[in-house]
Structure 1
């Protein structure tokens, strides 16, 4: 089976609010008009309400009530607003996915995205692009569950018993979640650098090097280690050092920042409400 066939099997292809596409297209540009963006978000009342819930959550709240999108621009800034809009848009696109623990999926995704953004600061790359790459990194998994629910369920069971997800998907489907994610990013008209990051995340040292693919790989590694309850020392024992060197990461500072980030609430309920 091909990725194209999978997309044909998905009855309703998920779409994201137009403002999310426009924001991703404006990454790296200083021409983004905050008032114009705020007005576009406000036109979609349900989406605007979701963005505001996240803006007022524990991690992003500024100690006072943010009552409007315009207010969020003033108090949080355009960069932070981009993060909130991207996260809200991604979770809004997928309402219900059969056979998937939606809360755990988005918790992992948001953790990886937050890690990518934090790592992006240390790697001196665009942090909002890094966050978006993190939010998109496993989005293909959702489409696999939507288009091939039976096979996806079997693969999940095998992974739970120690199987390698990428190898199992390649064997049973002929492609893996990153292949699907790249195609969705292309259809959503996301920038090429985000598509390249999703494509290269499995083996970031092969082919043309994408710093954002390397960020996804490292962020996923740290998140998985944390889920297993590994200490910093245990994580360092198998840390992808070659990638860390490529990105000029100071790992002591990285782990200090991650400790701080973990101490904050994850805001997953605000994202999914």
Structure 2
């Protein structure tokens, strides 16, 4: 019953109309996993974006980091918190501030970002337990649903029908999207990530987070899938009808860190969540 069939290539052509992330954020995400950018270079790049610098400092001074004194500058933040932490803060601040609320009835903009932040924190905590790169785990979690807001902004009338169809038939969002649009937010998000020249592992994590068994190995894809499921299970979006997507047995077996580690990660994320959301104003 497709209302509008959109191919991935057609959507890719629309990506140019979407807002771009700040240049320094795109560079940071693109180079995750290597240390090619120095703290001096990062400070210099941030100095050219006062709004992003201010948001970065607000988060650096949030209760999340428990600073005993105020951090007054980006170089000071880099000295006290370290390059990796500030890099994560800049990515979070830049991504969450780049989109305006889409004019789509039923699209909960605040709930969308709260779920994204929850998934980012789950991805970071799980990556630590699984001895994976926690910065990449955070970024993949934060960006995993970026295709949702892109589809809502680009095709607002149809996306309103998608959300109504989802509620009426009690479907997973990806199934409602495919039914009415012929594309889902995972594929759309991957095309955006390619356009922004993110690393292939981030692109794959976004594209396959709802179908991790279709990918050639769990890795970051499995991590993004499990972080998304955990964020839904913890109810971070505030949606009373939140549905936890099913996790394939092979992904569960490969990625589940054990009950004790999982409970510890859950407790850590729940303690962090409101502080991070408040600092990011979501």
> Structure 1-normalised TM-score?
0.89
Which segment is superposed worse, 71-80 or 153-162? 153-162
Q: Deviations over 1:18-58 (max 9, x none)?
A: 11122123322234311211111121111111111111112
Taking the aligned partners of 2:223 and 2:15, their CA distance within structure 1 comes to 30
Which residue in 2 is equivalent to 1:152?
Answer: 159
Could you say what the CA RMSD is over the residues aligned between the two structures, in angstroms? 2.3
Give the Å deviation of 1:253.
1.1
CA distance in 1, matches of 2:181, 2:247: 30
Shift of 1:90: 0.8
Within-5 A mapping of 1:128-207: 128-161=135-168, 162-207=170-215
| 3-state secondary structure, aligned to 2:210 | coil
Q: Cα deviations across residues 117-150 of structure 1 (Å, max 9, x unaligned)?
A: 1101111111111111111100000011111112
Aligned twin of 1:213: 221
State the partner residue of 2:89: 84
Distance 1:160 1:61, change over 3 A: farther
**What CA distance in whole angstroms lies between the structure 2 residues aligned with 1:9 and 1:104?**
25
Cα separation, 1, equivalents of 2:33 and 2:178: 35
Say if 2:133 is the partner of 1:126. Answer: yes
| Cα shift readout 1:61-119 (whole Å, capped 9, x = no counterpart) | 42221111111111111111111111111112212322232211100000001100110
Q: Which moved more, 1:131-140 or 1:204-213?
A: 204-213
Q: Please state whether the residue corresponding to 1:185 is helix, strand or coil.
A: helix
Q: CA deviation at 1:59?
A: 1.2
Is residue 6–residue 148 contact of structure 1 (8 Å, CA) maintained in 2? no
Tell me the SS of whatever aligns to 1:267: helix
1:104 aligns with: 111
> 1:157: Cα distance to partner?
2.4
TM-score by length of 2: 0.86
Q: Which runs of 4+ in 1 moved over 6 A?
A: none
**C-alpha distance in 2 between matches for 1:158 and 1:187:** 30
* Alpha-carbon spacing, 1:185–1:174, altered in 2? closer, same or farther (3 Å): same
Distance 1:186 1:192 in 2: 8
- Structure 1 runs not aligned, ≥5 long: 229-237
Residue pair 1:54, 1:271 contacting (<8 A) in 2 also: yes
Using the alignment, how far apart are the partners of 2:37 and 2:113 within structure 1? 28
CA drift at 1:9: 5.0
- 1:67 correspondence with 2:72: yes
| Cα distance in 2, alignment partners of residues 250 and 36 from structure 1 | 40
Change (3 A) 1:147 1:26: closer
Q: Name the CA distance, whole Å, in 2 between partners of 1:207 and 1:243.
A: 11
In structure 1, the residue corresponding to 2:97 is in which secondary structure?
helix
Instruction: Tell me what 1:270 maps to.
Output: 279
**Residue equivalent to 1:233:** none
Confirm or deny: 8 A CA contact 2:127 2:137 kept in the other structure.
yes
| Structure 2 residue 46 is matched with structure 1 residue 41 | yes
Rounded Cα–Cα distance in structure 1 between residues aligned with 2:253 and 2:42: 37
User: Residue deviations 1:193-225, cap 9 Å, x none?
Assistant: 111111111111123114111111111111222
Retained in 1: the 8 A contact 2:26–2:198?
yes
Deviation at 1:179, TM superposition (A): 0.6
